[in-house]
Chain A
């Protein structure tokens, strides 16, 4: 059952008013412009045991995605394709308001929005991941860990997922006997087949004023958040509206225009990072 959020971080009324007043003047509490992302720091493959991994710091929001590949059985309705599963864990170390336990509706929503936005444009060539068609395929687990929570987990989660997927390497298949596939995880061979990159842009709305990449404190005062996924070709590959107010069509139009512009910037960033990944392969500290 979904209920009106009651356990949210508390922000003083005076700060709430300040945030609102600033946004109405076109300013923000952290000095950004309304259409500006927070600084993005990226560390690639910090977890060598994962088939691919990426640490993304978006302002003070930290997200890490690890890709694990395993051999398993395909879905019965797609017998000749690999399987992609996206999960998100909002672990209690990330925020005083998170509690241990199975993923809540926010974590599930984050994972499912990212899953759909990757699946629908066929960002991963799952058809190339069959080992014994109909019986054994690669299972791709895209696990997103929220490590420090300061708003906009979907965009950070999508960015780290896309980076980790691009870096992921498929382990070597040693032998196949009947349905028994032996793999050697110490030898990583070919990269995971990627068709195209996808990014999401989340735009908040306060009294119909759009603001890109809302901070947690902003998320607590704004009316809505709209997440729009774009692929490299500029197509919309997913939308999710969240929040407890309605939106007029003209405002939605404006939001999509802004999101499209910002998506181009994020795609540019992905291209820059992935063309020279070794520059981003650092240790965590």
Chain B
């Protein structure tokens, strides 16, 4: 595939978005019957589902920690989520992303409230169109809230990038593939803490600062949507 024009002459992106514009975002919680908490999140063409089981007993038992809950996290992409079929076996990328997502969640969950238990977080990417780890993190955070697990804050994930020299918000697959940088962040907007930060690409210090600011502003918008989604769910439960 040839490199497409990422920033058009009118300054808009290949899909018509402004540089600081998010894709259409959809989210819902409590979508699964079996899980203690669950969420569905869409960032444009990226579709992700997350489920939380726990706090529950740990098997095998020897893994249990005496002073806190264990967090176990699996980020996984469905074999049909990409244009070429992805082998369902966990790739090196998925193993790394499971780790960074788990570490982001550890920063907000009050694990000390549930010693000797495990909180299991499962993220399935149903369709990948850029920003799967950040959409997955948003979904995982919503699913934890839906499970009623006490947390310091919600986490909104979003990726910023540099494409054709322009710093842009919420990059999609094409922008990731042909752009110069991809910087996913997880931001707990209420406590103003960055809980996930990676950079894949080349940025100057000034560009990095600009990208981080843009990411935080984008994450704040997503954070607001997350709160609304949870609020709506509770109003519904109340009215029932």
Contact = CB atoms under 8 A, between A and B. Distances in A.
Interface of A: 1-4, 6, 77, 103, 105, 108-109, 111-112, 116, 120-121, 226, 231, 234-249, 252-253, 256, 260
Interface of B: 1, 63, 65, 68, 70-74, 92-93, 95-96, 98-103, 106-108, 111, 118, 181, 183, 188, 191-205, 208-209, 212, 216
Given A2-B95, A6-B63, A120-B202, A252 B194 contact: yes
B92 to A, nearest CB: 5
Name B's interface SS: mixed
A245 B96 CA distance: 17
Nearest to B208: A236
B96 A239 contact: no
Contacts of B208: 236, 256
Contact of B197 (A120, A235, A239): A239
B200 A3 contact: no
A226 B99 contact: no
Contact of A256 (B102, B188, B205): B205
A272 B151 CA distance: 50
A248 B195 CA distance: 9
Question: Across chains A and B, which 7 residue pairs bring their CB atoms closest together, nearest first?
Answer: A246-B193, A239-B199, A244-B106, A2-B98, A241-B197, A2-B99, A1-B74
Given A4-B106, A246-B193, A241 B99 contact: no
B72 A3 contact: yes
Given A4-B102, A6-B65, A260-B205, A109 B96 contact: yes
Contacts of A2: 72-74, 95, 98-99, 101-102
Given A4-B102, A246-B191, A236 B203 contact: yes
A246 B194 contact: yes
A199 to B, nearest CB: 14
Output the residue of A6, A103, A236, A247 with the most chain B CB within 10 A.
A236
A112 B91 CA distance: 12
A74 to B, nearest CB: 16
A246 B98 contact: no
A138 to B, nearest CB: 22
Contact of A235 (B73, B101, B203): B203
Given A249-B212, A256-B208, A112 B202 contact: no
Nearest to B109: A244
A256 to B, nearest CB: 7
Given A112-B96, A236-B203, A239-B199, A6 B70 contact: yes
A241 B73 CA distance: 17
B58 to A, nearest CB: 10
B3 to A, nearest CB: 12
Contacts of A231: 202
